[in-house]
Every structure is written in C-alpha cells, then in structure tokens.
Structure 1
Amino acid sequence: MENIRAASRPAVWLMVSIILVALNLRPSMAAVGPLLSAIRGDIPLSFSLASLLTMLPVMAMGLAMFFGIALGRRLGEQRTVVLSLLIIGVATVSRLFLDSAAELILSAIVAGVGIALIQALMPALIKSRFSDNVALCMGLYVTSIMGGAAIAASFAPLVMVRTDSWRMGLAIWAVLAFVALLFWLGQRSHAPALAAPTQRQASFFANSRAWLLAIFFGLGTASYTCVLAWLAPYYVEKGWSEQDAGLLLGFLTAMEVVSGLLTPAIANRSRDRRLVLVALLGLIIAGFVGLILIPQHLSLLWPCLLGLGIGGLFPMSLIVSLDHLDNPQRAGGLTAFVQGIGYLIAGLSPLIAGMIRDQLGSFEWAWWSLTAVMVVMIAMVLRFDPRHYAKHMR
C-alpha cells in the first residue's frame, strides 16, 4: 500500500503543477477588458485598436502552435514549460513600464507565444500520463485556464483601485508565473519524459476531419475571446462601474470553471459527445440572446448561461479531438493542429466585434453574429459520430 501511494505521488504532483501552469494561460488577456476604460484614458486606443490586445496574442498562440510541438521535442517538455513560464512572466511584468499602445500590444503578443508553447504540449502530456482519465484531467487543465481568467478579471480592477495604477492591475499576474515555475521545477526531476516518437509525425493539413475539428474549435473559442475582450466594456457602456463590470466577467469565468469541471465528468460516461455539445451550444445561444435583448434585467443569468456553455465547450472541443486517435503523440499533434488553426480563427473575433462597435456604435450586432455561429456549430456537431473516427483519421 505504501508503495502504491509513493508511486502515485509524482502523478499528483504533476497534476498540481499542470493546474498551476494553466492558471497563467489567460490573465494577460483577461485583465485587459475590465481596465480598458482606464487604459484608454491614459493611452489613445480606439475600440478596433484595443481589440488587438486580445486578437494578436490569440493569433500568436495559433501560429506558435505549429512549432510548439517541434520545440518541445527539441528542448524536452520540462524545459519548454520553464521557458514558456519565463516568457509569460517577463511579458506580464513589463507592463509596469509601458507608455504606448504599441508596447502594450507587443507585451500581449510575447505572452501569447509563451502561452501557445504550453498549450501545444499539454494535451499529449495528459493523454500519455493520465491515459485512464483523459477527460477528467483535460477538464481540470482547461478549468484551470479559465480559473486564471476569472481571477484576473475579478481582481485586476481591485488592484488598480488599491494601487491607483492600471499598469499594476495588468502586471501583478506575473506572480502566478513565478509560483507555477517553482512547482514545475520541483516536480520535474520525478517525472518521466514523454516517449519519443518512433517516426516522423504525419501532417494533418490534408485531412478534412482535422480541418472540421479545427474550425469547430476556432468558432467556439471565438465566442470565448470576444466575451473576454468586450463583455466588461459592454456593461461599462451600459453605466456599470469598471469594478462591477470586471466582477461580472469574473462571475462568467467562474461559471466556466464550474462547467469545465462538471461537463467532462458527465461526458466521460459515453464516447459519443454529441448530446453534451448540443446542450452547451444551446446555453451559449440563450446567453447571447439575453445579453442582447435584456442585458440590464437578470444581468447575472446571461453571463451564467454563457459561462456554463463556453466553459464546457472549450474542453469538450479538445476532448473530441483527442478521441479521434489512440496514440498520445499523434493525438497531441492533432490537438496542436486544431488549436493552431482554431486560434487563428478565434483571434479575428475581437477585431471584428471592435470594428462593429466603432461603425455601428454598439456591441449587440457582434452578439447576434456569434449567436448565428453557434447555430452553425450545432450542425457541425452532428458529424462527430465516434463510430466513424477511425475512418476519418486514416
């Protein structure tokens, strides 16, 4: 019994370390929205230009996915995560010294690269180390990503008020990178390396199913990035304070955490994930419709529905991709492709929404557009029949 417990300790330590690392993958973006009006008061930013603070790091995440797996094999997963945390930490703390929109955007791009390197590695690592509980562990990992967003969105305005500095509200999240780095360095000596691939990984660019999965992930993540960028400014325009709008975004991301934990556990009962995916998309549609028609009434319900839907859709999109292949390295390559293309698609949504706001004077048409996208995604879900996965991935 003692030997079993001792053998399980490295796995538990690794999972705790993964959770702490994942907490760093959204604060650099999530802290911006609640502080946007204060930032715009100090640095000239149109809504279109401000959208670049979310768009460009997401695009950088997409591009970096394509070399993240290769870099992970060259440096080793342990050193790659260390490098990524250092990149995120330096980019975040640099915001204490920013004086222009260009510098702020550059810090966001650099952080995006660090984030992508981690996200390229983690699905393969989880499928390899936790093969009996992939859905549950992916749920914990993705939930931690959204938890980091919730913490940053909720507390960045409070930090700004207490320190009288929006720069501190953006930069303080480097502390999370430092804590994660300590834990990761502490566990890495006990963790075995991922098995080296026996042959060169095949490209997924010619595979139509890989593209379908990537587009599905990208459209779903588009709703996440758009809400992350613009929900707080939307409610500030409705007369809410920055702190209240930030707390509302924090509440939404807290609902994402709840859904990210519960949904994969529920979906783990069956390999056919379609019913769960349709239910999640229905929640998102209801949330957007309420946000458009009666945003000031039942104002906690609409972010709650959006959070529950988006929070479950994010891990389920990755889990469905992992379901298509049994080999951890090939499955990791597929999820890197899916995220790479998907983040390039998702990165455009904050810019398009910002342009809609500049041209039409309201975010409501952006919410309507995303509602239509969710309807299209329901049609896509119907094609995810697990009985045909092997045929599509030949």
Structure 2
Amino acid sequence: METRESDRSAVGGTGGPSRPEHPGDRSARTPVRTAVLAGGLLLTALNLRPGVASIGPVLSSIRDDLGLPASVASLLTTIPIVAFGAFAFLTPALTRRFGMHRLLGLTMLALAAGIALRLQPSLAGLFTGTVLVGAAIAVANVVMPAAVKRDFARQSGLMMGLYSTALFVGAALASGLTAPLASAVGGSWRAALAVWAIPAIVAFGAVLPQMVRAPRRDPRTREVADAPSERGEPTFRALFKDPVAIAVTTLMGTQSLAYYACLTWLPTLLQDHGTDQHTAGWLIAYSAFPGIVAALLVPGMARRMRPTWLPVLLSVLLTGAAYLGLGTAPVAGAYVWMTLLGLGQGAAISLSLTYIVLRSPDARHTGHVSTMAQGVGYLFAGLGPVGIGLVHTLTGGWGVPLLVLGALLLLQLAGGIAASRDRHVLSPRGPR
C-alpha cells in the first residue's frame, strides 16, 4: 500500500490535481535518462561531507598556523553543521522557485565556491567559505530525500542505501586523503582543502542535463513541476506537534551530533595518545568502510526486520562499544574500535535518512519532514564539536567527553525506537 501511495504522490500528490509531466517522471524516462538522473543524485551526495570531513585531519595544522585555541578552531566544523540547520528552512521556498534538480546543481556551484574561498590567505576568507559550504550542503541535504521519494519511489530503499553509502564514501575520501594532499603540496592545508572543490564541479556537470531542461509549470498555478506543490503540504506547526516527526528529528539530531563530534575530535584524541597525523586521518577514513556496509544493508533491514526497533538498538550498542574501547585502549585496539564505530554510525545515519522517507506518505511530506529533521537536528548537532571540545578543555582528557557521547546514546535510542514504528507523520494513531 505504501508503494502505491508513494507512486501516485510522486506524480500528482494524493487527492490533488495531476501535475504536468517533467523530465523526472518515470513514464517519460528512458533507461539512459534514469541512469543519468540517479548518477547525478549520487554524485551530489558524494559531495555532502568532504567540505566538513576534510577539516579534522588538518585541524592541528590550522591551529598551529593561525594560532587558534581549540574552541575557536572547532568552529570550522561547527559552523557548517549549524548552517545545515539554519539554511535548511529556506529549502522549501527555493525548491518551489527553482525545482529540485536545478537547485541541486546550484548547490554544487555554491559548494565549490565556498571551498575555493578557503584559499584566501585570511581568517575572514576561511570562515566565510565555511559558511557558504554549510549553506550549500544544508539545501542539498533537504532536497535529496524528497528527490528520491519523487523520482525513485519504487526503489527508495535501494536509493537511500546508495545515498547513505555515498555520504560515507565522500567522508572517507576527505578524511583519508586531505593530510597526504597537504604533504604533497608543501604542507599547505589551504590547498589541500581547496582540492575538494573539484568533485563538486564534477557533480554540477552530472546534474547539468537536468538543469538545462526548463521545468514545466502548471499553466493555472505556475508551480514548477520538478518540486512539491504548496497545495496539500503539511504545516511545520503541525509537524512540530507530531510524535513521529519529533522522533525522526530526535534520531537525526543525536546521531549527527555524535558523528560530527567524532569527525572533529577523534583525530586529535588519537594523536594525543601517540598516533601520527596521517595515521589518525587514515583511521577516521577506515571507519567509513564498515560504515558503507551498514549504510547499504540497514535501509532494507529497517523495512523487513522485526521487531522494527532492532536495527536502532544494534546501532547504539555498536557505537557504545566503540566509545568504551576508545576510552580504555584507543591505540592498541584502534582498528577494532573504528570498525565498531563505523558500523554503528553507518547504521544510524542510514536509519535517520530512511525514516524521513518511510514515515512520509508522499514527496510533499518528505520535503517538509526532511526540512524539520535536518533543520532542527543539525542545529542541535552543532553543539557537538564545540561542546566536546569545551569539555575536553575543562577536563584535560577524553574520558568525560566520551561519557557525554555515551549518555546521548540513550536519547538516540529513545528517538530511534519511536521513529521505527510503522506509521506515517500526521496519521491517526496506530499502525498503518
């Protein structure tokens, strides 16, 4: 039933007038065009983490070069995350103005510009570029689940798995290659960060075929066909009172906070225990490989496994075991802990994104649930890098910060269990 409802809504929305056909409609797509559309979405997804993940491996170099304290340096990863939340709320209006695929292409251009700005030899250029990076990723973050729901409703599980995988691959490449790139260009961390503008330009080229096709508009309403309609959209006021939407948002926020806190500070934790900079960066990159496995498998598990909360529990247990290991033997068991962490985080992010799609009856709801979950969730997640950095500064060690992250797993578990229940947002109580 869910698939049939989603298929109808992907074209016209349940209960509403039919929408004009556009290049993304399945009935108008050839296999080649479908492959191009999917490739553009996945290449876009590949670019939604390097702009942030590339900072951690060279954060020590940035601090030394610019003379920044840890709390100020952590803003380089905190600012994008806060921007993920703040700029997410602009996405519905931008989507109606430009259409999903044109907007995704524009975000890749903005992302490349923001990354390139970091080449400027000034603190202002570094932070301005970081804000632009966060804004571009924020909009793309919100659009992607709605685009999957609209264009690949029947393959949403597969596409969300590939989407989550692309996020991890992008993060892995940035975490593993940024420090070696800095060494290859004479120790210039600015040049190493700027390299990540190149894949963003490639993604823009992949989306370009969709952008050059002017989106058709309804002659009566002038609505862009390649965007959710304003008619029948849920209100944010209603969503903020809905327990399903709140649960999805809680899961998104808690797992994102932990992910970005670890992305920022785990290289430093490992270096403080004697690991060199390149090895620390590689270990963070390595954790993405088990994360990729989890991201591929978990969306399907979330649809079939019973009880429905079991994938959430496994994710929390794996992550908690990783924290325990990092607090007791961070170097001796590094590969074990990073394997567990990758599995736990991969499961958590894929569950968060998958529940945005599964708990929404159509593309209209998906766009708004995505805006709420990622807007509020990332604003909360922005506390992670700064908060963990502050706790580390106050305590002088990593034991208490890891305990704080462990305590947040309880909130993640509660939100995930509630989000795993098989029902839609704004639906009557009880199973669908």
The whole-number CA distance in structure 2 between the counterparts of 1:130 and 1:29 is 28
User: What is the identity percentage for the equivalent residue pairs of Structure 1 and Structure 2?
Assistant: 30
| 1:71-98 CA-partner distances (Å, limit 9, x unpaired) | 1111222221122111110110111223
Residue identity matched to 1:202: T
Is the alpha carbon distance of 1:133 and 1:272 closer, same or farther for their aligned partners in structure 2, counting shifts above 3 Å?
A: farther
Q: Which residue of 1 aligns with 2:6?
A: none
Q: Which residue of 1 aligns with 2:413?
A: 378
Q: Which residue of 1 aligns with 2:374?
A: 339
Is the alpha carbon distance of 1:211 and 1:254 closer, same or farther for their aligned partners in structure 2, counting shifts above 3 Å?
A: same
1:83 matched to 2:93? The reply is no
Task: Decide which moves more: 258-267 or 233-242.
Answer: 258-267
Task: Decide which moves more: 4-13 or 37-46.
Answer: 4-13
The whole-number CA distance in structure 1 between the counterparts of 2:28 and 2:147 is 22
Q: CA deviation at 1:58?
A: 0.5
Q: CA deviation at 1:189?
A: 5.1
RMSD of aligned Cα (Å): 2.3
Paired residues of 2:53 and 2:175 also in contact (CA < 8 A): yes
Task: Decide which moves more: 39-48 or 74-83.
Answer: 74-83
Q: CA deviation at 1:387?
A: 4.5
Paired residues of 2:84 and 2:378 also in contact (CA < 8 A): yes
Q: Which residue of 1 aligns with 2:62?
A: 39
1:328 matched to 2:363? The reply is yes
Paired residues of 2:157 and 2:300 also in contact (CA < 8 A): yes
Q: Give matches, 1:50-61, under 5 Å.
A: 50-61=73-84
Match of 2:151 among 129, 145, 166: 129
The whole-number CA distance in structure 2 between the counterparts of 1:365 and 1:372 is 10
Residue identity matched to 2:142: A
Residue identity matched to 2:116: V
| 1:352-384 CA-partner distances (Å, limit 9, x unpaired) | 011012111123311111111113322333334
Q: Which residue of 2 aligns with 1:354?
A: 389
Is the alpha carbon distance of 1:171 and 1:283 closer, same or farther for their aligned partners in structure 2, counting shifts above 3 Å?
A: same
Q: CA deviation at 1:207?
A: 2.6
Match of 2:264 among 204, 229, 238: 229
Give SS of 1:325's match: coil
Q: CA deviation at 1:197?
A: 4.1
Please list every run of 5 or more consecutive structure 2 residues that lacks an aligned counterpart in the other structure.
1-26, 216-224
The whole-number CA distance in structure 2 between the counterparts of 1:8 and 1:273 is 34
Q: Which residue of 2 aligns with 1:97?
A: 120
Paired residues of 1:43 and 1:99 also in contact (CA < 8 A): no
Q: Which residue of 2 aligns with 1:364?
A: 399
Q: CA deviation at 1:126?
A: 0.2
Q: Give matches, 1:1-394, under 5 Å.
A: 7-100=30-123, 102-164=124-186, 165-188=188-211, 193-194=226-227, 196-203=229-236, 204-270=239-305, 273-384=308-419, 386-389=421-424, 390-391=427-428
The whole-number CA distance in structure 1 between the counterparts of 2:233 and 2:210 is 29
The whole-number CA distance in structure 1 between the counterparts of 2:70 and 2:400 is 15
| 1:176-215 CA-partner distances (Å, limit 9, x unpaired) | 1110011110344579724534335422233343223212
Q: Which has the higher Rg, Structure 1 or Structure 2?
A: 2
Task: Decide which moves more: 358-367 or 21-30.
Answer: 358-367
Give SS of 2:226's match: coil
Paired residues of 2:228 and 2:363 also in contact (CA < 8 A): no
Paired residues of 2:356 and 2:366 also in contact (CA < 8 A): yes
Paired residues of 1:322 and 1:332 also in contact (CA < 8 A): no
Give SS of 2:304's match: coil
Count of aligned pairs: 391
Is the alpha carbon distance of 1:385 and 1:249 closer, same or farther for their aligned partners in structure 2, counting shifts above 3 Å?
A: closer
Name the TM-score, length of structure 1 as normaliser. Answer: 0.93
Paired residues of 1:221 and 1:343 also in contact (CA < 8 A): yes
Paired residues of 2:99 and 2:226 also in contact (CA < 8 A): yes
Paired residues of 1:22 and 1:145 also in contact (CA < 8 A): yes
Paired residues of 1:215 and 1:345 also in contact (CA < 8 A): no
Residue identity matched to 2:63: R
| 1:306-361 CA-partner distances (Å, limit 9, x unpaired) | 11110111121121232222111112211211110000011101100110121111
| 1:32-52 CA-partner distances (Å, limit 9, x unpaired) | 111111111210111111111
The whole-number CA distance in structure 1 between the counterparts of 2:128 and 2:399 is 29
Residue identity matched to 2:332: H
Paired residues of 2:182 and 2:192 also in contact (CA < 8 A): yes
Paired residues of 1:69 and 1:117 also in contact (CA < 8 A): no
Name the TM-score, length of structure 2 as normaliser. Answer: 0.85
Between structures 1 and 2, the one with greater helix share? 1
Give SS of 1:257's match: helix
Paired residues of 1:286 and 1:305 also in contact (CA < 8 A): yes
Q: Which residue of 1 aligns with 2:19?
A: none
Task: Decide which moves more: 69-78 or 183-192.
Answer: 183-192
Residue identity matched to 2:30: A
Paired residues of 2:114 and 2:129 also in contact (CA < 8 A): yes
Residue identity matched to 1:51: S
